[in-house]
Structures are given as structure tokens and as C-alpha cells.
Amino acid sequence: MRPRRIAPAILALALLAAAGSALAQVTPAASFDAALKAAQDNDQLVVVDFYADW
């Protein structure tokens, strides 16, 4: 059967560590709900990374 192509998964922490100054203000949240609350409280945006383990 045709091999399944798997998109490279993202390692968020490595990504944040590697990212440049524009991301200095990006704050990781423990959960989606926590991120939304933080965004509401501080009038911010949330970047959500939808991923899977495979």
C-alpha cells in the first residue's frame, strides 16, 4: 500500500527557542482554554498549533 506521507511534527518549545525577536513576546499557555483566557484578559491573540502525535 502507498506509504503514508506524514507532515513533520512541530516541537513547540524548540520552535520558540529557535525563533527570532518577533517571538520574544509569545507566551506559551498550558491549555487552549488558558490561552483564550489570557488573550481575553490582555487583549491579545492566540496562535494555536493543531497537531497529532504521529
The CA-CA-CA angle for residues 40, 43, 52, to 5°, reads: 60
Cell numbers representing residue 28 in the block: 506559551
Cα–Cα distance, 32 to 3 (Å, whole number): 33
User: What minimum distance in Å lies between the beta carbon of 17 and another protein?
Assistant: 9
Binding mask 1-40 for another protein (x = CB under 8 A): xxx---xxxx-x--xx-xxx-xx-xxxxx-xxxxxx-xxx
Question: Which residues of the shown chain bind another protein in the complex (CB under 8 A)?
Answer: 1-3, 7-10, 12, 15-16, 18-20, 22-23, 25-29, 31-36, 38-41, 43-53
